[in-house]
Structure 1
Amino acid sequence: MKLDENQLKEFNENGFLILRNFADSALCDEILEKAKIHLENKTAPIETEQEYMHLNKDKITVRRLRQVYDREEVFQKWMTNEKIRPILKQVLNDTPVLTLAHHNSIMTKLPHESTRTFWHQDRRYWNFENNDLVSVWLALGDEYLDNGLLEFIPASHKLNLEKDQFDEVSNFKDEHPKNLEIIKNKVHANLQKGDVVLFHCKTLHHASKNNSDKAKISFVYTVRAASNKPLNNTRSDFKEVILD
């Protein structure tokens, strides 16, 4: 499968693209079933809400399961999916390489216990030669504003932003005068099981807390262009899988 000319243009202009009903429903159900077991058991490595928000660590609320590639065969099956490879090659204009150091994750927003995800660019996590990185987000169920749907700022991957527009942990400041004008342009589109969102590592995005009564669980991984090498002796210099 390949993107048509309009889809590729949309991704390049906006920095993100939704692929509706892309993943097989049965595959999503199998991923979700396995993910729930790891979440219930709080199987390490994980990231918690308490770590993310610098809160009291006596309570553990899982925010994401890390390093999921090696946890279950079905997780690997999705991350190495043959159907999406030609699309990833198009958006990167190069052979895609699955980087397992980052966004090799099951993401969750638990009901009433989750916290907001602040505006940010994913590039803050990584150490590569350039910004040719794209994340692949899979909705495993319905995603909407009240349960923590991702919102994006179109074309923000093209902006030249200044250091003072970000805080000490690289969150995009909500109340910065320049940022307020940029955030006004935010957009969203509800997702359903099997929908995939591709987004560039510089595209600004955020998500609210989950105010619903049901957990929102998603799957995200990241690919780099083969020509975009990880910097030696950084956390990005890690196990990878070439998706040729």
Structure 2
Amino acid sequence: MKLSKEQLSQFNSNGFLILRNFADKDLCDNILEKAKEHLKRKEAPIESEQEYMNVDEEKITVRRLRQVYDREQIFQDWMTNKEIRPILKQILNDTPVLTLAHHNSIMTKLPHESTRTYWHQDRRYWNFKNDDLVSIWLSLGDEYLENGLLEFIPASHKINFSKDRFDSSSNFLDENSENQELIKTKTSQNLQKGDVVLFHCKTLHHASKNQSDDAKISFVYTVRAKSNTPIKDTRSDYKEVILD
């Protein structure tokens, strides 16, 4: 499968693109079943909501299952899916490489316990020669604003922001007047099981807390162009998989 010229133009212009009904529903259900097993056990490595709230509590609310590539074969199968490779090659204009240092994750928004994910760019997680990385977000169920749907700021991947528009954690400052004007341009589209969102690592995005009664669980991984090599001795200088 390849993107049409219009789809490729949309991604390049907006910094994100939705592929409807891309993944098989049974595959999504099987991934979700395994993810719930790991979530129930709170199996490390994980990220917790408590880390983001800067509180020291015994209670742990899982925000992200990390390093999922090595957890289950079905996770590996999705991350190395052959049907999406031509699309990633189009976007990157190079052979895609699966980077496993970060965004090798099952993402959760647990009901009533999740926190807001602030506006940010995913470039903060990476140390590569350039910032041309693409994340692949798989919806494992319905996603909408009330349960923490991703919202994007179109074309924000093309803007060179000054450092004072972010806080010390690289979150886009809500109180900054320039930021407030840009945030007004935000957009979102509800997602269903099997939908995939591709987004550039410089595209600003956020998600509200989950106010529904059911968990929202998604799968995300990231690829780089083969020519975009990691900076030596950084966290990105880690195990990778070439998707020829």
Tell me the TM-score normalised to structure 1 length.
0.99
Question: Does 1:243 pair with 2:243?
Answer: yes
2:156 matched to 1:152? no
Aligned position for 2:33: 33
Matched to 1:68, the amino acid is: V
Deviation per CA, 1:46-71, whole angstroms, max 9, x where unpaired?
A: 00000122123321000000000000
- Give the Å deviation of 1:132: 1.3
Q: CA deviation at 1:175?
A: 1.0
Indicate yes or no: 2:187 matched with 1:187: yes
* Structure 2 partner of 1:10: 10
1:76 matches 2:76: yes
- Deviation at 1:160? 1.3
**CA displacement, residues 18-46 of structure 1 (integer Å, 9 cap, x when unaligned):** 00000000000000000000000000000
Instruction: Give the secondary-structure state (helix, strand or coil) at the position aligned to 2:70.
Output: coil
- Provide the alpha-carbon RMSD of the alignment: 0.5
Secondary structure in 2 aligned to 1:83? coil
* Alignment deviations for residues 61-104 of structure 1 (CA, whole Å, 9 cap, x no partner): 00000000000000000000000000000111110000000100
Runs of 4+ in 1 over 2 A off after TM superposition: none
The TM-score normalised by the length of structure 2 is 0.99
For residues 157-172 of structure 1, what are the structure 2 equivalents within 5 Å? 157-172=157-172
Q: Contact 1:44–1:66 at 8 Å: present in 2 too?
A: yes
The residue identity in structure 2 corresponding to 1:50 is: Q
d(CA) in 2 for partners of 1:160, 1:128: 17
CA distance in 1 between partners of 2:55 and 2:82 (Å): 41
Shift in Å at residue 183 of structure 1?
Answer: 0.3
Q: Which amino acid aligns with 1:221?
A: Y
Residue 107 of structure 1 aligns to a residue in which SS?
Answer: strand
Ranges in structure 1 where 5+ consecutive residues have no aligned partner: none
Q: Where in structure 2 are the equivalents of 1:46-85 lying within 5 Å?
A: 46-85=46-85
**2:227: which partner in 1?**
227
Q: How many pairs align? A: 244
> Percent identity, aligned pairs only?
77
Does 1:95 pair with 2:95? yes
- CA separation in 2, counterparts of 1:48 and 1:158? 31
Question: Following the alignment from structure 2 to structure 1, what is the Cα–Cα distance between the partners of residues 233 and 105?
Answer: 22
Q: Equivalences for 1:116-127 in 2 at 5 Å? A: 116-127=116-127
- Conserved in 2, the CA contact under 8 Å of 1:64 and 1:108? yes
**CA distance in structure 2 between the partners assigned to 1:83 and 1:188 by the alignment:** 25
> Are the aligned partners of 1:51 and 1:57 in contact in 2 as well (CA < 8 Å)?
no
Stretches of structure 2 lacking an aligned partner (at least 5 in a row): none
Cross-structure match for 1:131: 131
1:95-119 CA distance string (max 9 Å, x none)? 0000000100000000000000000
